[in-house]
Amino acid sequence: MKTLVLFYSTYGHIYKMAEAMAEGAREVEGNEVVIKRVPETLPQSILDQIGATQAQQAFSHIPVATPNELTEYDAIIFGTPTRYGNLCGQMQAYLDSTGGLWAKGALVGKVGGVFVSTATQHGGQETTIRSFHTELLHHGFVIVGLPYAWQGQMGHEEVTGGTPYGASTVAGGQGERQPSANELEGARYQGRHTAQIAKKLAS
């Protein structure tokens, strides 16, 4: 069984969540887990202007996924920062390039999930995940979220991400806040839970 954690990250928050997601997925016996990223679409001048160039060096070693290789995996968990309550342009451009796979039904029956980051607590975490789910449903994915069996999303003692639709983190307006221990644990849970369901379906 193979699981892909596929992400786009501007400042590294989603990359850290992707690593935690992969950690959880690796806990499932017999599961080969791969982390990849989608291509950057912003010009270098813009990346320099918004201060993303240095941050992205931390994960520049992660290979870029081609659309056709998605057929190789039993489960694919997508990570994206939120842009105006929706997924980022880089991830949308990648999904837009999968039309050939859609036409052949090549991803029907795959297990999929989504995790996100926003600048603020109410920056569109749930709307982004739910919008992403729509695209996965068009491809025929079996969608897995972050069930309330993970109790970390039930507390109110601290600011934290975590939704029943998928793991999430709050990055802060300037990207100053890093994923908390609770948010990373939510990602591990979702990664493990998704892989467990994919393993059951694969068998």
Q: Is 12 annotated as a binding residue?
A: yes
d(CA 188, CA 16): 11
Question: Residue 122 annotated as binding?
Answer: no
Which amino acid appears at position 53 of this protein? T
Dig out the tokens for 83 from the structure: 């842009």
- The answer to whether 71 is a known ligand-binding residue is no
Q: State phi, psi for 12 to the nearest 5 degrees.
A: 105, -10
Amino acid, single-letter form, for residue 86: N
> Which uninterrupted H or E stretch holds 193?
helix 181-202
Is 84 one of the annotated binding-site residues?
yes
**Under 8 Å CB-to-CB from 14, ≥6 apart: which residues?**
7, 8, 79, 80, 81, 115, 116, 117, 169
Q: Please check if 61 is assigned to a binding site.
A: no
DSSP state of 179: P
150 assigned binding-site residue: no
DSSP character for 39? P
Residue 8 is assigned to a ligand binding site: no
Structure tokens at 65: 């996924």
CB 178 within 8 A of CB 159: no
Known binding-site positions for substrate: 102
Known binding-site positions for NAD(+): 11
Known binding-site positions for FMN: 9-14, 82-84, 138
Known binding-site positions: 9-14, 82-84, 102, 138
